[in-house]
Structure 1
């Protein structure tokens, strides 16, 4: 299945990363049928938010509950690398679950799109659509 992202989501990711700098921004990628239509910022609850991230568990649970109730699908996640690259870090790779979800890594005004595949992160080409 081809994956797409709206131009609005891309703008949101870049804005959230800039606003959070020098801390890591993080959040959820929502949508349906392989199209990411929303980036929802989530509070970073990690004790060292300048170097790591942890999604607020309450927000994650609420998003999954909303999906089960007919809301948008949780297609993936995003976080920023304030001093890194727009790709999975060694920590990201070590924590990968292989669940097939999409990950967006935001750094230096760029966004890297990846799939958390069973064999590790794989680069994910995305088509940008209006929205």
Structure 2
């Protein structure tokens, strides 16, 4: 995945602003290049310090704008400081083709879910200035 530095900074700022709850949003782009981020309120009915749910209105807005073809994945934060998928994340995978970006208050990592392994693998992030 290729991010611009200001996109990484935005995700980190969103994570800090939402702390101690998880932040979340959609990642929009093509061919591994992130074009924009669509932040969402965390509308989870559970404990928002360890769960997230993207507001459906954010996704519907993207579908109206692009037909959803441009959605690469989504981001969320782990306020506990561990930037790796949790068991809760694994249980939430229902679109395995989407990329999961997980942020702490100072780090961002990306993952892809592999159905054959039923597990996540980290994928590299490139940052362009």
Q: TM-score range by the shorter chain?
A: 0.7 to 0.9
TM-score by length of 1: 0.86
| Unaligned stretches of 5+ residues in structure 1 | none
In the alignment, structure 1 residue 15 sits paired with structure 2 residue 49: no
- Residue 105 (structure 2) pairs with residue 122 (structure 1): no
Distance 2:16 2:106 in 1: 8
Equivalences for 1:49-128 in 2 at 5 Å? Answer: 49-68=48-67, 73-97=70-94, 99-118=96-115, 119=117, 120-128=119-127
Tell whether the 8 Å contact from 1:9 to 1:38 is kept in structure 2 after alignment: yes
Residues 15 and 105 in structure 2, CA contact (< 8 A), matched pair in contact too: no
Structure 2 distance, partners of 1:97, 1:12, is: 26
Give the whole-Å Cα distance in 2 for the aligned partners of 1:67 and 1:122.
28
* 2: CA distance, partners of 1:40 / 1:11: 14
Compute the TM-score of the two structures, normalised by the length of structure 2. Answer: 0.87
- How far has the Cα of 1:30 moved from its partner? 1.0
| Shift in Å, 1:72 | 7.3
Q: What are the Cα deviations for residues 65-111 of structure 1, in whole angstroms up to 9, with x where unaligned?
A: 3222xx87111101111114101011101222352211111114111
Alpha carbons 1:81, 1:106 under 8 Å: kept: yes
Aligned positions, number? 126
Which structure 1 residue ranges, 4+ long, deviate > 3 Å from structure 2?
Answer: none
Q: 1:30-76, CA deviations, whole angstroms, 9 ceiling, x for partnerless residues?
A: 112220122221011112222211111111122123222xx871111
Partner Cα separation in structure 2 for residue 56 and residue 27 of structure 1: 9
The CA RMSD over aligned residues, in Å, is 1.8
